[in-house]
């Protein structure tokens, strides 16, 4: 099976990778379904929404500051490093991620398409200005823009639309992919989950890497049931040299 993965990567003309929260799990960043200590009693669907932010921006910001703290102190794992290496070798056309962390970039990946935004930026709800986040804000007080408007994390919340430009680029990449590797995503959040379907519609090959079965598994050409880091590094010889 891993031989097949290797062969697919080697013969691919336009290889893309789609990643989800599972790829960062090995860096110690919990997936939403993982559940974790302090915030265990909240469901992400209750905090990562525009309604929650209008109602109680302080609680939403405290949750994001905690997530930023974890993400910023985490290190890229072999999966991030392996995908970066594929790009460096000229084998990867595009890396598309649902993750809001910056571990792909810190592993060396360039031009990553962040479908769901990034924790490295805040956005003003009044004027739309974007401001880089170097360290998590200490809340309270709530972070505010120079215009006086409230700043929010520059991520896509439940019920919000993805950036049309980023989405268009991702679909263009999917339609041109003869091979797409889908790693660490439960493949239930659309439109991201439609990208592999777009690849199939154009006759491409979809390879899933996930320790568990997902709704994508039945239509994937190859399902590799193991953690992404292990699949990418050890078996493809893409570990750090």
Nearest-5° Cα angle at 31, 28 to 37: 70
Q: Is 205 in the site for ligand NAD (CB under 6 A)?
A: no
In 64-126, the DSSP E strands lie at: 94-97, 113-114, 117-124
116 is catalytic: yes
Among residues 80, 104, 114, 116, the one annotated as catalytic is 116
Query: Does position 212 bind ligand NAD by CB under 6 A?
Result: yes
**Which of the choices ligand NAD, Zn ion, none does residue 147 contact, using the CB cut-off of 5 to 8 A by kind?**
Zn ion
Burial 56-71 (b: 16+ CB within 10 A, else e): ebebbbbbbbbbbebb
Q: Which of 44, 108, 137, 149 binds Zn ion (CB under 5 A)?
A: 149
CB atoms within 10 A of CB 120: 18
Cα separation, 156 vs 84, in Å, equals 24
Which residue number, 24 or 205, has a Cβ lying nearer to ligand NAD?
24
Nearer Cβ to ligand NAD (143/184): 184
Query: Is 21 a binder of ligand NAD (CB under 6 A)?
Result: yes
How far apart CA 61 and CA 59 sit, in angstroms, is 5
Identify which of residues 139 and 189 has a Cβ nearer to ligand NAD in the complex: 189
Under the binding rule (CB under 6 A), the answer on residue 238 touching ligand NAD is no
- The residue ranges that bind ligand NAD (CB under 6 A) are 20-26, 29, 31-33, 98-101, 116, 183-186, 189, 209-212, 214, 227-228
């Amino acid at each position: 099976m891993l031989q097949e993965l290797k062969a697919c990567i080697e013969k691919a003309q336009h290889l893309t990778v789609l990643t989800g929260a599972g790829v960062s799990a090995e860096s110690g960043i919990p997936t939403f379904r993982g559940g974790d200590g302090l915030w265990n009693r909240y469901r992400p669907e209750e905090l990562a929404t525009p309604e929650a932010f209008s109602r109680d921006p302080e609680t939403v910001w405290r949750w994001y500051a905690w997530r930023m703290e974890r993400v910023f102190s985490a290190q890229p794992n072999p999966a991030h490093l392996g995908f970066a290496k594929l790009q460096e070798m000229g084998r990867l056309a595009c890396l598309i991620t649902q993750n809001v962390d910056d571990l792909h970039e810190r592993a060396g990946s360039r031009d990553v398409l962040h479908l769901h935004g990034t924790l490295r930026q805040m956005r003003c709800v009044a004027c739309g200005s974007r401001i880089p986040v170097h360290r998590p804000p200490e809340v309270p007080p709530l972070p505010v823009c120079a215009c006086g408007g409230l700043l929010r994390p520059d991520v896509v919340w439940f019920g919000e639309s993805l950036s049309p430009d980023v989405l268009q680029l991702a679909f263009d990449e999917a339609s041109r992919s003869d091979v797409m590797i889908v790693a660490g995503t439960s493949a239930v959040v659309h439109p991201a989950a439609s990208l592999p379907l777009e690849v199939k519609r154009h006759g491409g090959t979809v390879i899933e890497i996930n320790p568990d079965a997902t709704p994508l598994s039945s239509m994937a050409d190859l399902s590799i049931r193991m953690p992404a880091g292990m699949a990418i590094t050890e078996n493809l010889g893409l570990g750090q040299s």
